[in-house]
Amino acid sequence: MTMVRGKPLRDVGKYSRTQTPYKKNRNGPTPSRTIMTRSQCSTSCTSFFSRIPAEVFDMILDKLSVLEISVFSMVSKEITRYIADYTSTVAWKNKMILQSFHHSSRIEQKSTIGHYRDLGVLFKRCTLLLPTKDRLKFIFSKISQIPCFMLEKCVAPDCFAFSSFGVFLQTLIAGWDELECHRVFNFLCDLTNLQQKTEAVITAKPGVKWYQELQLRLFCRQVLLDPWPNQPECHFWLMQLLKPWPLVSQAHLLFILYGPLLPEGTLGWQDLVERGLPHTALWHLAKAILLLFGNLQVKGWSTDSMITIMEELIVIPHPWHVENVARLLVLCGSNLCYTVLASKALNGRLLEISRIVVYIILVCEKDGYHMSWAVKLVQEICKVFNTPPEKFYFIQQLENTFSEVTREFFEFSVAGNHFDDRETFQTLCILLDSCAHFHAKFLHMFLR
């Protein structure tokens, strides 16, 4: 093929037209034309880049950014293979696989995380033609040597390596189907011993292995869960983490992943038992529960499994303060709150229900929820009972519990000169206000 001088390079390779000598026939000579496709041109013509010495080609690649190399890798199979080899060199890994995850400013952190997002794009593109298993082996051979990416290998409190790893992984596998993502999870488990480390934590007494608990939480949240902005993807990864374990252990693991953290960075196991916590401490746990049980059509999940996990969760490590139980149920919303309480009602646990409902009313008053929500909840629970005497007994039990809880707060505030405990006295006042508002709404419902 001859090239016309001055013709733009973009026309070369689109197609080539060759003209063969005239063929003679009885009507006279007619030209015969053949069209060469781009692939035929590539096989018949020597690649431009193959003429460049490898050292010069590497110098060109060294001048390109990671994103520019990722785009270049899609030019041809030959270029893809060359760039894959180029990224396997020690010089490139030392230059591009950054490992400075400590003592960084916010700008430096943002830059490093952005760099790992670009690396995710590069490896996604330059391994596009490989089977999933080979892709994962190739990619993780590059990053498995980074100690901060592994569980329990870094003790620096300001390390942001897991966040970088999470962005890299999310960029790499975005758009992959569920089967491929299963393979990614299994590969990560083998690479990091995730299952063994999870088992060691959830079978230990809560809080004993506090460092391992925190490492497991940070890895799972920052690498697998938090990078996904959409619920279906986050739900998938949370399911992968939970489903290998029995329901009791799932509740334990759910607390480790989303339970409240103390200011020093450890899990607040004991705080949930000893005192009421603000809604911000339980918000992430409630969101995780809603994410898990918002769709009970998922294979292997049912209302019974959801209730079991909730029942186990609120007694880890010991039965929670009732205000925390009530606040978690309020944060989980009407459907889940009613399902849990209705289950207790069907099992005859009226004392427990009454106490939780009183604290739900207190939480509504404290946190600014409409009291009509609590009234409707009580109405729905009443429908669980079949006969008027059963309904009346439930209401009577609820009123008695109001009196009992009010007395407890009062006695605690006056015993031992606890009048200085402003928080307890304030809670007593809020309880009295909530009782008045609840009954006003409740009576108004019957008087309408």
Extract the tokens encoding 361: 């009313």
Q: How does pLDDT run across 307-333, given as a tens digit for each residue?
A: 999 999 999 999 999 999 999 999 999
Percentages of the chain per state (helix, strand, coil), in multiples of 5: 65, 5, 30
What is the separation of C-alpha 205 from the centre of its chain, rounded to a whole number of angstroms?
Answer: 25
> What secondary structure letter does DSSP report for 385?
S
CB 345 within 8 A of CB 381: yes
User: If we measure between CA atoms, which residue out of 186, 108, 118, 194 comes closest to residue 149?
Assistant: 194
Q: Which residues contact 81 (CB under 8 A, 6 or more apart)?
A: none
**Distance from C-alpha of 333 to C-alpha of 285, rounded to nearest angstrom:** 13
CB 250 within 8 A of CB 281: no
**Distance from C-alpha of 429 to C-alpha of 446, rounded to nearest angstrom:** 26
Q: How does pLDDT run across 254-303, given as a tens digit for each residue?
A: 999 999 998 888 899 999 999 899 999 999 999 999 998 876 555 557 78
- Amino acid identity, residue 145? Q
Distances (CA, A) of 151 to 98, 162, 217, 239, 395: 18, 9, 10, 20, 52
94 pLDDT above the threshold of 50: yes
| pLDDT confidence bin for 17, thresholds 50/70/90 | very low
199 pLDDT above the threshold of 60: yes
Extract the tokens encoding 430: 């809020």
2 pLDDT above the threshold of 80: no
| CA atoms within 13 A of residue 8's CA, in its CB half-sphere | 3
CB 210 within 8 A of CB 152: no
Distances (CA, A) of 263 to 69, 212, 260, 268: 43, 17, 10, 9
Whole-prediction pTM value?
Answer: 0.83
4 pLDDT above the threshold of 80: no
Extract the tokens encoding 41: 């041109």
- Give the per-residue pLDDT at 126: 93
Q: At which residue do the structure tokens 């733009």 appear?
A: 8
User: If we measure between CA atoms, which residue out of 119, 121, 236 comes closest to residue 185?
Assistant: 236
